[in-house]
């Protein structure tokens, strides 16, 4: 009797439903970039949120009633991955960084971030590594949750939370001693404090730890290293114990060297990097996220008329340093520091990577396969392969010949769901 009651209760709680067949879709682009190379007349079969098969058209074993979409003149590619964004910032020529941190309410910043998230997704970036909330606490972790729950459309996020800076190094700055202002990141130093803060940020939901290995705190306002190599190593070891990586903001060769020897995963910016430090990064398997678009945007905010005036010193130096990075063979991930410039214009970084010397095909690999692998997502994202998540973008034309066509994707599919398609 007890057994029968148990069965009845089980059936009542969990009635049998007919199994729902996931939606089946076939995409037939003219060209397909699978994360490694471009194929002509290859197709993709999507089942639910998964890529079931990729290969020459007419070789796919999709069911006959699968929805079939013709994409003549289009290249289909994996959903792009943004390597360096700040959803909680917007361009500094609209509002200065100081005023965003000090005078803008968290509510406004979060609402703006929701708009930014949608813009990045619609620009074909289905995954975004967001590297610091810049004074908005753990709002990035809440925004990630809202996207995951389907409250707002947006890319899947890897978030850093507050980020860590050495005491005295970060802004906003210039206030009298008796005035306490919120900072753009969390200060921590030394053994006990660093270990506690890394663990605390992880506990709040950070997917990775972002640390500022140098900052503009030199006697003349120039960038100088902040944390010692021992401190950086401690941060890396503490994060690694929880299965997380650390990424470092670093522009000086010395901070890049310390961060590399400490076991950091990627170096952000690397503006003053030289052949020696890039060779060291390559040897230790540390990737460079060059953020070319940030310097390009800031130089223009400072009055540079691009295309009219000659390159300012900052741009000349960055071009030289990027050429040295390419020559060294260091892994280059694609990330522009979106937020310094407009969200949704992420592809500006890809155009500059080509302008500064990379081939369009290498840039395509960087923003898909390479980013996925370096960010620990390479088993599921960054390629069009059977078993991978159905994140796809379609652009008119050939991005392997003209990178600029990536600016305006007509189709954006994330996790099998179509977010953008032509009217
Ligand atoms: Zn940044």
List of domains in the chain? 18-78+384-420 (2.30.40.10), 80-374 (3.20.20.140)
Burial of 221 (0-12, 13-18, 19+ CB in 10 A): exposed
Q: How far is the CA of 372 from the centre of ligand 1 (A)?
A: 19
- The helix/strand/coil state of 10 is helix
- Tell me how far the alpha carbon of residue 68 lies from the centroid of ligand 1, in angstroms: 41
Reported confidence tier of residue 269, pLDDT bands at 50, 70, 90: very high
Question: For residue 5, how far is its CA from the centre of ligand 1 (angstroms)?
Answer: 60
What is the percentage of the chain residues whose pLDDT exceeds 90?
A: 94
Lowest mean pLDDT among 5-9, 37-41, 220-224: 5-9
Based on DSSP, count helices (H) and strands (E) in the chain, helices before strands. Answer: 13, 19
Largest Cα–Cα distance in the chain?
89
Tell me, in angstroms, the distance from the centre of ligand 1 to residue 131's CA.
6
Please enumerate in sequence order all residues whose Cβ is within 8 A of that of 400, keeping only pairs 6 or more positions apart, or say none: 33, 38, 75, 360, 361, 364
E strand segments, 123-202: 125-130, 156-159, 164-165, 186-187
- Alpha-carbon distance of 316 to 296, in angstroms, equals 11
Q: How many Å lie between the centroid of ligand 1 and the Cα of residue 52?
A: 36
SS3 220: coil
Ligand 1 center–CA 47 separation, angstroms:
36
Cα gap 259→154, rounded to integer Å: 32
Model confidence pLDDT, tens digit, residues 352-390: 999 999 999 999 999 999 999 999 999 999 999 999 999
Q: From the CA of 11, how far away is ligand 1's center (Å)?
A: 53
Percent above pLDDT 70 for the chain: 96
Chain-centroid distance of CA 233 in Å reads: 24
Name 354's Cβ contacts closer than 8 Å, sequence gap at least 6.
Answer: 360, 363, 403
d(CA 336, CA 332): 12
Distance separating alpha carbons of residues 147 and 48, to the nearest angstrom: 19
Cα 161 to ligand 1 centroid, rounded to whole Å: 12
User: Averaged over 247-269, what is the pLDDT?
Assistant: 98
Could you tell me whether strands 164-165 and 156-159 are parallel, antiparallel, or unpaired per DSSP bridges?
unpaired
Å from CA of 82 to ligand 1 middle: 12
Whether the bond into 68 is cis, omega within 30 of 0: no
**Which range is least confidently modeled, 12-21, 63-72, 274-283?**
12-21
Q: At what angle do helices 190-203 and 229-241 cross, to 10 degrees?
A: 30
State pLDDT tens for residues 293-315: 999 999 999 999 999 999 999 99
Distance CA 285, CA 177 (A): 43
- Low-confidence winner among 3-12, 72-81, 101-110, 167-176 (lowest mean pLDDT): 3-12
Question: How far, in Å, from the CA of 64 to the mean position of ligand 1?
Answer: 48
| pLDDT on residue 110 | 98
Q: Compute the chain's Rg from CA coordinates.
A: 23
pLDDT category at 21 given cuts 50, 70, 90 is confident
The answer on pLDDT for 338 being more than 60 is yes
- Stretch 280-286: mean pLDDT: 98
Give the pLDDT confidence score for residue 423 in this predicted structure.
85
Per-residue pLDDT for 19 more than 90? no
- Check whether 10 has a pLDDT greater than 60: no
On the question of pLDDT at 52 being above 80, the answer is: yes
CA of 401 to the centre of ligand 1 (A): 29
CA-wise closest residue to 335 among 158, 213, 206, 99: 158
What strands, in cross-sheet order, belong to the sheet with 125-130? Answer: 80-85, 125-130, 156-159
DSSP classification of residue 312: P
| 345, pLDDT greater than 60 | yes
- Which of 4-8, 35-39, 205-209 has the least mean pLDDT? 4-8
**Residue 332: pLDDT over 90:** yes
pLDDT band at 252 (very low <50, low <70, confident <90, very high): very high
Q: Which residue has the higher pLDDT, 7 or 322?
A: 322
Mean pLDDT computed over every residue of the chain: 95
Task: Show Cβ contacts of residue 146 under 8 Å, excluding neighbours closer than 6 positions.
Answer: 114, 152, 154
Question: For 137-271, where are the E strands, in sequence order?
Answer: 156-159, 164-165, 186-187, 209-212, 214-216, 223-225, 246-250, 266-269
Please give the distance, rounded to the nearest whole angstrom, from the Cα atom of residue 49 to the centre of ligand 1.
31
CA quadruple 56, 61, 62, 68: dihedral positive or negative? Answer: positive
Task: At 26, give phi and psi (nearest 5°).
Answer: -115, 130
> How far does the centroid of ligand 1 lie from the alpha carbon of residue 85, in Å?
6
User: Is a pLDDT exceeding 60 seen at residue 399?
Assistant: yes
According to DSSP, the β-strands at 246-250 and 223-225 are unpaired
- Residue pair 268/333 in contact by the 8 Å Cβ criterion: no
Which residues keep their CB under 5 angstroms from ion ligand 1?
Answer: 337
Gap from CA of 135 to ligand 1 centroid (Å): 13
- Bridge partners for 131 per DSSP: none
The C-alpha atoms of residue 209 and residue 164 are separated, in whole angstroms, by: 8
d(CA 133, CA 1): 59
pLDDT at 288 over 90: yes
Q: What is the pLDDT of residues 209-243, one digit of tens each?
A: 999 999 999 999 999 999 999 999 999 999 999 99
**Per-residue confidence band for 13, with pLDDT thresholds at 50, 70 and 90:** low
């Amino acid at each position: 009797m007890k057994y029968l009651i148990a069965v009845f209760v089980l059936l009542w709680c969990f009635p049998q439903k007919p199994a729902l067949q996931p939606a089946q879709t076939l995409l037939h682009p003219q060209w397909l970039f699978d994360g490694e190379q471009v194929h002509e007349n290859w197709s993709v079969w999507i089942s639910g949120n998964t890529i079931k098969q990729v290969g020459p058209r007419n070789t796919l074993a999709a069911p006959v009633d699968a929805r079939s979409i013709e994409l003549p003149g289009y290249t289909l590619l994996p959903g792009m991955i943004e390597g360096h964004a700040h959803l909680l910032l917007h361009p500094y020529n609209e509002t200065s960084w100081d005023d965003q941190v000090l005078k803008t309410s968290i509510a406004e910043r979060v609402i703006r971030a929701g708009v930014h998230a949608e813009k990045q997704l619609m620009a074909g970036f289905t995954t975004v590594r967001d590297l610091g909330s810049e004074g908005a606490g753990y709002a990035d972790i809440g925004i990630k949750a809202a996207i995951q729950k389907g409250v707002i459309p947006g890319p899947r996020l890897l978030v850093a939370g507050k980020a860590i800076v050495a005491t005295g190094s970060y802004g906003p700055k210039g206030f009298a001693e008796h005035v306490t202002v919120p900072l753009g990141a969390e200060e921590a130093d030394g053994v006990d404090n660093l270990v506690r803060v890394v663990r605390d940020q992880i506990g709040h939901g950070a997917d990775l730890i972002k640390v500022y290995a140098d900052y503009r705190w030199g006697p003349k306002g120039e960038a100088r290293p902040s944390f010692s190599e021992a401190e950086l190593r401690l941060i890396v070891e503490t994060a690694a114990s929880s299965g997380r990586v650390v990424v470092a903001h670093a522009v000086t060769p010395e901070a890049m060297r310390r961060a590399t020897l400490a076991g950091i995963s990627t170096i952000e910016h690397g503006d003053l990097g030289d052949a020696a430090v890039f060779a060291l990064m390559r040897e230790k398997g540390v990737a460079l996220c060059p953020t070319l678009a940030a310097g390009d945007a800031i130089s223009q905010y400072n009055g540079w008329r691009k295309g009219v005036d000659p390159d300012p010193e900052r741009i000349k130096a960055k071009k030289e340093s990027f050429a040295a990075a390419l020559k060294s063979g260091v892994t280059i991930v694609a990330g522009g520091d979106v937020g310094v410039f407009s969200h949704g214009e992420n592809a500006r970084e890809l155009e500059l990577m080509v302008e500064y010397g990379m081939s369009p095909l290498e840039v395509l690999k960087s923003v898909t396969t390479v980013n996925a692998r370096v960010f620990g997502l390479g088993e599921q994202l960054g390629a069009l392969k059977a078993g991978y998540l159905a994140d796809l973008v379609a652009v008119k034309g050939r991005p392997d010949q003209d990178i600029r066509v990536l600016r305006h994707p007509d189709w954006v599919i994330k996790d099998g769901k179509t977010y953008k398609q032509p009217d």
